[in-house]
Amino acid sequence: MPAAISFHTVDPTAPLAAAAMAAYFAELDDRFPGGFDASGQSTKDAELLGPPGGAFVVVLPQGHSPEEVGARAVACGGVQTIEADIRYGEIKRMWVDTAWRGTGVGSRLLRHLESVAAGLGHHVVRLDTNDTLVEAIGMYRRAGYREIERYNDNPYARHFFEKQLALSV
């Protein structure tokens, strides 16, 4: 049975979003050889993962709301526009709390973010990841992402993926 969750688009600077991204950055710092430097990321994310060209999503256990005191995201992710003229989007900051891994939350979040990207007018989504995140790489491949050449200057990224979105007519 799938985990009972709900998706909420929130301001990327909201405390709930900031806490989820802090957990994401802490995990990257633990898992990446040499750590992860998150300095300056929050400001950049606030610009790129908010309207009008982006969106940030938190995942909460069913029955909880972002306004609830003490609410804690079990997953998060964002979408940003990287090439508006050719309708490319990018999925960023995708993270699932370790206690919720293996419940299908990650693949459901990925599908939700693809839907958000399509709603922003993106025809193609891209993403990058580090080779230490083998679970994520497997999930992206199972979801139909294909590996492509490097498309950005992210110093931590070793794998680059792209997927054509199915657009309704």
- For residues 3-30, give the mean pLDDT: 93
Stretch among 103-107, 142-146, 165-169 having the lowest mean pLDDT: 165-169
User: At residue 116, does pLDDT exceed 60?
Assistant: yes
Whether domain 5-164 has CATH 3.40.50.10800? no
Q: 72: which 2 tokens?
A: 């804690």
User: At residue 169, does pLDDT exceed 50?
Assistant: no
- For residues 30-53, give the mean pLDDT: 86
- pLDDT of amino acid 39: 83
Domain boundaries, the chain: 5-164
Output 70 or 131, whichever has higher pLDDT: 131
User: At residue 167, does pLDDT exceed 70?
Assistant: no
- For residues 1-18, give the mean pLDDT: 90
- For residues 114-141, give the mean pLDDT: 95
Task: Kindly report the pTM of this predicted structure.
Answer: 0.92
Cβ distance 58 to 76 under 8 Å? yes
150 CB neighbour count, 10 Å cutoff: 11
Name the packing angle between helices 41-48 and 15-31 (round to 10°). Answer: 130
Q: Which residues does 90 contact at the CB level (< 8 Å), separation at least 6? A: 79, 80, 81, 82, 125, 126, 127
Q: How would DSSP label each residue in 38-53?
A: -TTHHHHHHHHSSTTT
Percent of the chain with pLDDT over 90: 77
pLDDT band, residue 66 (cuts 50/70/90):
confident
Which residue(s) pair with 126 in the sheet? 90, 162
